[in-house]
């Protein structure tokens, strides 16, 4: 009974506080509904970014991968720091200064309406088959095994998945469609606090269980015996080889954190550049802390259950929570997981509605309609997306490689081509819409072939990087065949947002990079790992990846700094 009561109490608390905080918001304007009226503080942005990224698929999926191997999969969460610095230092000032609401809107300004339509379609399809169904299915899986739902209802697991998916989908739709971005962000912040508390409790109770009721003994066991489980430096045979951190992992992180609409929309809703940068960097530190509640549970489960204990490793996390936590805390943490599921689902749904309204409906069908009418029609489109998602999500139970693998590969398939054309648009004004569109479609087709048709003995993140470089070359080659004759006119600078940078941003960026590197040093043969096997690491890929990183990060930063210098010079001249 305490389990059910604590679950209902925290879930109801989040709903009531979210309603109270958004009851006076103007949700009938585009800015109010899609960007929270540019009113989000740094801590709200950080909480929303954290929860938007942390669905139950991350908990169940990464814990499953660590349980079956070592800590190499933490690369998906720890190595995001350079991308977050790029978002806060380059992308965010550009978008806030020019008042862009979506990534496709920016691409239309650079290339034209055809590119905007293609990219919007890719985003929506990606969210329909990736982000939203993964969030619902992962959440259903976690709740089913925490509450032992098949036993409670007397039904098979497949039927329970359908029931929980539909319940989550309908509840999440109410948050997203009727509360706008502000409602999503407020609920994210509350659930983020609960997530931190609950994640720490799972870690503490898990170590205590390993130590037979003694936290200290459990910690000593986990950190001093079979330390190969703590190794973050993956060999070529591991799920995440160390070399991919410098190739495809960089590209995935740059897309996900710098051009993924449902992520960047939180930062675009900042009340000022300072608050946006602050929120992004706070989220970066929490991403590193993620390892304690979505990765270390896999190590703890290995010490508790041994290897090969589970028929499906996706069951590890919810089973661990059920076995080590007191009932009252299970209910609380189930509510937090429930909230994180809704957060990711809400965020993707809200961004999908934003894309539909701003990039499809309003430019092509609703030019003469009021913003209130556009938002009303967008909500109807959101309802259609909700039902399509709820029909599709339960079928993910048949994906053999695990939910986390499905989620990552879907993001990469649709996201990398979008990031590529955004990047080459930054590099050169000579790349035309035709060149960009051909490059984008060719890259998408190539990735599809290598993921689903062709078999090659090379990690898919290395393949991603190779295809990225080849298609970047294709884009610049096509720019010579189809040069751009379009004059790029940037929107007038926004006057209602304070664009003063956060003065501590450079210092915090350095600290974040040091923390990221230190995490890898401690969790490696240079630190706690004493019994790791000999590794095969491809240093050629590391060298090539570092060269790619210099180009990807270096040139846009130089262009951005040069444009800032020109703006300052023009301002001084006008004064």
Domains belonging to the chain, first-starting first, are: 2-395+406-574 (1.20.1730.10)
- pLDDT above 80 (res 457): yes
Give the pLDDT score at 366: 55
- The pair of three-digit structure tokens given for residue 289, joined into one six-digit string: 């802390």
Cα separations (Å) of 206 from 199, 280, 323?
10, 30, 9
Rounded to the nearest 10 degrees, the angle between the axes of helix 505-522 and helix 273-289 is 10
CB-facing half-sphere around the CA of 118: CA atoms within 13 A: 22
Looking at the DSSP bridge assignments, the partners of residue 272 are 498
SS3 of 403-428: the string is HHHHHHHHHHHHHHHHHHHHHHHHHC
Is residue 206 within 8 Å of 329, Cβ to Cβ? Answer: no
Token reading at 50: 């954290």
Residue 255's closest CA among 91, 93, 366, 481? 91
Q: Is the pLDDT of residue 120 over 80?
A: yes
Give, in order, the Cα–Cα distances in Å from 114 to each of 107, 111, 117, 360. 10, 8, 5, 11
Say if CB 354 and CB 360 are below 8 A apart.
Answer: no
32 confidence band (pLDDT: 50, 70, 90)? very low
User: What is the C-alpha separation between 168 and 349, in angstroms, rounded?
Assistant: 13
pLDDT band at 549 (very low <50, low <70, confident <90, very high): confident
Percent of the chain with pLDDT over 70: 82
- At residue 444, the pLDDT reads 93
Specify the pLDDT at position 271.
82
pLDDT for 140 equals 86
- Token pair of 189, please? 């912040």
CA-to-CA distance for 250 and 248, rounded, in angstroms?
A: 5
The span from the CA of 50 to the CA of 293, in Å, is 13
> Does residue 90 surpass a pLDDT of 90?
no
In the predicted structure, residue 445 carries a pLDDT above the cut 70: yes
Reply yes or no on whether the pLDDT at 443 is more than 90: yes
Quote the CA–CA distance of 516 and 504 in Å, as a whole number: 18
Angle between helices 103-110 and 113-126 (to 10 degrees): 160
Q: How far is CA 370 from CA 134, 377, 379, 485, 544, in A?
A: 34, 11, 15, 34, 51
User: Do 198 and 489 touch, CB atoms closer than 8 A?
Assistant: no
pLDDT at 499 over 90: no
For the ranges 6-15, 61-70, 350-359, the lowest mean pLDDT is seen at: 6-15
CA–CA distance, 106 with 439 (Å, rounded to integer): 18
Token pair of 470, please?
Answer: 């080849």
Tokens (6 digits) for 163: 């029931």
Calculated CA dihedral for residues 439, 445, 446, 448, nearest 10 degrees: 140
Q: What pairs with residue 270 in β-bridges?
A: 40
**284-301 pLDDT, tens per residue?**
998 998 898 889 999 999
Q: What is the average pLDDT across 2-26?
A: 59
Question: Of 63-67, 86-90, 181-185, 547-551, which range is least confident?
Answer: 181-185
Q: What is the DSSP string of 131-168?
A: IHHHHHHHHHHHHHHHTTHHHHHT--HHHHHHHHHHHH
User: 287 and 77 in contact (C-beta within 8 Å)?
Assistant: yes
Output the pLDDT for position 39: 62
Instruction: Assess whether pLDDT exceeds 80 at residue 178.
Output: no
The closest alpha carbon to 127, from 344, 348, 440, belongs to 348
CA angle 202, 234, 444 (to 5 degrees): 95
For residue 179, report the phi and psi dihedrals to the nearest 5 degrees. -110, -10
CB atoms within 10 A of CB 575: 5
User: At residue 181, does pLDDT exceed 50?
Assistant: no
- Cα–Cα distance measured from residue 502 to residue 88, given in angstroms and rounded to the nearest whole number: 10
Is the pLDDT score of 128 beyond 70? yes
CA angle 159, 160, 166 (to 5 degrees): 95
Instruction: Give yes or no for residue 49 having a pLDDT over 50.
Output: yes
pLDDT score recorded for residue 462: 92
- Is it the case that residue 37 has pLDDT exceeding 50? no
| 358 neighbors 101 (Cβ within 8 angstroms) | yes
> What's the pLDDT tens digit per position in 225-281?
999 999 998 787 788 899 999 999 999 999 889 888 777 877 877 888 899 899 999
Give the model's pLDDT for residue 27: 45
Confidence of residue 180 (pLDDT cuts 50, 70, 90): very low
C-alpha separations of 156 from 149, 340, 395 in Å: 9, 25, 15
Least confident of 20-24, 199-203, 310-314: 20-24
Q: What is the mean pLDDT of residues 29-39?
A: 47
Mean pLDDT across 193-208: 85
What does the pLDDT average to over 513-520? Answer: 94
> Average pLDDT in the 24-40 region?
49
């Amino acid at each position: 009974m305490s389990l059910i009561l604590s679950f209902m109490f925290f879930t109801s608390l989040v709903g009531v506080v979210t309603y109270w905080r958004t009851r006076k918001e103007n949700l009938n304007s585009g800015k109010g509904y899609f960007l929270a009226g540019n009113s989000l503080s740094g801590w709200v942005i950080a909480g929303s970014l954290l929860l938007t990224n942390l669905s139950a698929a991350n908990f169940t999926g990464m814990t499953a991968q660590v349980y079956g191997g070592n800590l190499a999969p933490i690369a998906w969460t720890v190595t995001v720091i350079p991308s977050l610095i790029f978002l806060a230092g380059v992308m965010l000032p550009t978008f806030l200064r020019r008042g862009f609401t979506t990534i496709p809107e920016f691409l239309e300004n650079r290339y034209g309406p055809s590119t905007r339509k293609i990219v919007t379609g890719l985003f929506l399809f990606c969210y329909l088959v990736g982000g939203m169904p993964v969030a619902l299915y992962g959440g259903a899986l976690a709740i089913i095994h925490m509450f032992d739902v098949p036993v409670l209802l007397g039904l098979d697991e497949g039927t329970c998945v359908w029931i929980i998916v539909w319940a989550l989908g309908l509840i999440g739709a109410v948050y997203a469609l009727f509360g706008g971005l502000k409602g999503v962000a407020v609920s994210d912040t509350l659930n983020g606090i609960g997530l931190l508390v609950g994640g720490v409790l799972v870690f503490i109770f898990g170590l205590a269980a390993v130590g037979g009721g003694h936290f200290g003994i459990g910690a000593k066991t986990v950190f001093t015996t079979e330390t190969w489980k703590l190794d973050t430096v993956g060999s070529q045979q591991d799920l995440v080889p160390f070399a991919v951190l410098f190739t495809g992992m960089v590209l995935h992180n740059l897309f996900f954190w710098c051009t993924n609409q449902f992520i960047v929309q939180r930062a675009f809703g900042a009340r000022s550049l300072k608050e946006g940068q602050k929120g992004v960097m706070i989220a970066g530190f929490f991403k590193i802390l993620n390892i304690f509640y979505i990765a270390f549970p896999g190590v703890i489960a290995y010490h508790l259950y041994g290897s090969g204990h589970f028929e499906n490793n996706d069951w590890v996390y919810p089973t661990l929570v059920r076995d080590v936590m007191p009932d009252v805390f299970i209910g609380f943490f189930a509510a937090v997981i429930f909230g994180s599921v809704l957060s990711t689902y809400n965020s993707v749904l809200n961004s999908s509605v934003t894309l539909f309204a701003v990039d499809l409906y309003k430019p092509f069908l609703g030019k003469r309609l009021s913003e209130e009418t556009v938002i009303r029609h967008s909500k109807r489109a959101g309802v259609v997306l909700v039902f399509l998602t709820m029909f599709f999500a339960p079928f993910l139970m048949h994906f053999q490689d695990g939910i986390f693998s499905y989620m990552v590969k879907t993001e990469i398939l649709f996201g990398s081509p979008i990031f590529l054309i955004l990047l080459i648009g930054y590099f050169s004004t000579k790349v035309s819409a035709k060149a960009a569109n051909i490059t984008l479609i060719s890259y998408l087709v190539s990735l599809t072939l290598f993921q689903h048709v062709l078999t090659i003995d090379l990690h898919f993140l290395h393949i991603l990087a190779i295809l990225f470089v080849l298609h970047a070359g294709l884009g610049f080659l096509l720019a010579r065949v189809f040069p751009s004759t379009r004059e790029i006119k940037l929107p007038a600078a926004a006057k209602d947002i304070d664009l003063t940078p956060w003065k501590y941003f450079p210092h915090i960026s350095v600290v974040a990079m040091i923390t990221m590197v230190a995490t890898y040093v401690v969790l490696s043969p240079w630190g706690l790992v004493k019994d790791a096997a000999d590794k095969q690491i491809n240093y050629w890929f590391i060298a090539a990846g570092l060269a790619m990183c210099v180009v990807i990060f270096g040139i846009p930063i130089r262009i951005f700094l040069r444009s800032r210098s020109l703006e300052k010079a023009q301002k001084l001249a006008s004064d």
